[in-house]
Structure 1
């Protein structure tokens, strides 16, 4: 009964957050000068788009580095080129359609078709999740602990102190994780029928470094597309806030959560047309363009594997 109650409360919280985001977005959409948004989008210079695409490329290369590091951790023998290919496909699908698609089912299918056992694939997924969120906790924890992000009007001093305490807790959690990796490297725990191992301290430090760089790069994409409007550190804080909202609400591509966070936290500093144009451009270069590239690449991957399988069957 207690477990069912916790599940029901979690569902209510998620539904409430979703309703709040929808209401905010509807109100926002009604007040936007859409012709001005189109004008702002058309006003991007080629060098701005090129800079944004360069940062997007760097971010996806870091995702590939997650998977290559996981290969070193698990010891599977899939070639580097194929690992990077699967990483690009998996993260493009995951960011657009949700972690269960790209990070779960698609990763499992691609790796098992490459000769990797399902148990090892679970290790790879766990390693990637730990990598992604370790850097998030460091950056979000540091920003909250330092009170580096301006809170929305009307928030009390107690709320600021609470967020600061949360930031310190985030940093302590990462320190605890690193200490555990130093104290018990390669120790296994059985989780839902799978044996998961802690990485060594150097590998955990690599996770942390890659993830931190990736979140910084993602915020850099937004910063380039909204030059001179908002301080970079504040943009990073807003992006991190939107990421946790999207994760809690299980929204593919952070739809609504990204816009809601930017609306609440930056709506008073940036003109609405420019803010919306920035977010639309960010979605186009960071989500949609990689997905458009990943779909034919995945189809080619499947066709090649199918052809190899038919060839072996003859």
Structure 2
């Protein structure tokens, strides 16, 4: 089988792994009610949410150190403002999208190329950042896996029973890399390729910055969990890094599904599953989705700044890179907006909002809004590919659909949080009309395997949530439980 065919099969392999993860999650969650999970999220103290948001900001701030060190490695100087923009936008997208779709490397390439870095220099920067991330992971993982070893459950079917073995391997990898930088003075040559190793001082900086980044990322989730006297942060990092390793190995966007299933398998004996899953959902929203939305809005705001005459000269230098980035960013925003509408269609509305809403709207309007909101979400998923291709009709239709999605979010259960997110996406779209100039059919081009896989993943999540709601409702019917209108599963 050729390499090209193997690359095409990659996204479908990700779908298979995601299906396995959903099966594990369904097995762990099938005896719990969705209301318990949502109640667990609401019961997280507000100050813990605040600490997690601050730690997320600190983590993304630390990530700028990767790009700073990488530019030192290639001997190029840029302002910290530009470095921070490339780092934040790059990691916000790569953390959520994974390598099978648009990756942070492509965002960096477009930004850094506008700042006069050559293709070879940008490749070195991207590779250096990736290496830095793994060096810190191996160093921190080596420490926690050997000092606080954990017995690996038999369900994982690994050949070793303790994380200490992994810790020794991680230390060995870091040690070999350090040893090479100490003894190797000249570049490493492989055919036409030539690679210079960084100095030992730069390597130590890589390890320190990356290790601190991983500690901050793990702390975001740690502070969202219930208080446990026997679960210290250092011990928790053992569970966290093992789950992250499993998620990164699958190359799924953010390790979604796999990370959660591993964390539940490891921590369910210590923490009730509804509380644990609620904390995981809050973590994904704070550390992954929040920065991604912010990165998208930042680029939309840059577009508005270009229209101000007083900064016109500065905007012109930024225009070339924005024109390359805006369509992919808005494409991802449309895709996420579609996913939000689909998922919200399977999650029960807040009870008091439904009681308040029924005084203003008849029940058929609420129900039809559920259906139309899901229909808008599905259409946005399909349109996101045409948005990436800059199709004029796709832009106009997406703007209208986002407006409709805002309306349906309010009508189906007064989901004002969802309406605000969609409003932010709509505001990012409005000033970018000039970038969508291609005429043609909305679906004239074939969907690539990566897009097909992404759409299937979202639909699988939506269907799984629907079955989860229906299965709990059936259990209540069998047990003779009291049912309320707001506990019924919504129509997809």
Counterparts of 2:262 and 2:255, CA distance in 1: 10
Compute the TM-score of the two structures, normalised by the length of structure 1. 0.86
Judge conservation of contact 2:95–2:254 (CA < 8 Å) in 1.
yes
Counterparts of 1:278 and 1:183, CA distance in 2: 46
Residue 31 of structure 1 aligns to a residue whose secondary structure is coil
Judge conservation of contact 1:92–1:102 (CA < 8 Å) in 2.
no
Counterparts of 2:155 and 2:30, CA distance in 1: 24
Q: Rg bigger for which structure?
A: 2
Q: How does 1:278-293 map to 2 (within 5 A)?
A: 278-293=279-294
Counterparts of 2:134 and 2:150, CA distance in 1: 20
Task: Tell me the CA shift for residue 154 of structure 1.
Answer: 7.1
The two structures, once aligned, show a CA RMSD in angstroms of 3.1
- Alignment coverage as a number of residue pairs: 309
Judge conservation of contact 1:223–1:235 (CA < 8 Å) in 2.
yes
Over 3 Å counting, the alpha-carbon distance change for 1:22 and 1:196 in structure 2 is farther
Residues 120-161 of structure 1, C-alpha deviations (whole Å, 9 max, x = no match): 011111111111001111122233334522433678997325
Structure 2 equivalent of residue 205 of structure 1:
204
Structure 1 equivalent of residue 38 of structure 2:
38
Judge conservation of contact 1:122–1:194 (CA < 8 Å) in 2.
no
1:141 aligns with 2:150: no
Structure 2 equivalent of residue 181 of structure 1:
181
1:244 aligns with 2:245: yes
Q: Which has the higher contact order (CA 8 A, sep 6+)?
A: 1
Counterparts of 1:139 and 1:47, CA distance in 2: 27
Structure 2 equivalent of residue 170 of structure 1:
170
Residues 223-245 of structure 1, C-alpha deviations (whole Å, 9 max, x = no match): 11114233323321222122222
Is there any run of 5+ residues in structure 2 with no aligned partner, and where? 307-313, 321-492
Structure 2 equivalent of residue 116 of structure 1:
117
Counterparts of 2:258 and 2:144, CA distance in 1: 20
Judge conservation of contact 1:37–1:273 (CA < 8 Å) in 2.
yes
Q: How does 1:85-100 map to 2 (within 5 A)?
A: 85-99=85-99
Residue 316 of structure 2 aligns to a residue whose secondary structure is helix
Judge conservation of contact 1:186–1:199 (CA < 8 Å) in 2.
no
Residue 87 of structure 1 aligns to a residue whose secondary structure is helix
Judge which range, 239-248 or 16-25, deviates more: 16-25
Counterparts of 2:158 and 2:249, CA distance in 1: 25
Over 3 Å counting, the alpha-carbon distance change for 1:89 and 1:15 in structure 2 is closer
Residue 166 of structure 1 aligns to a residue whose secondary structure is helix
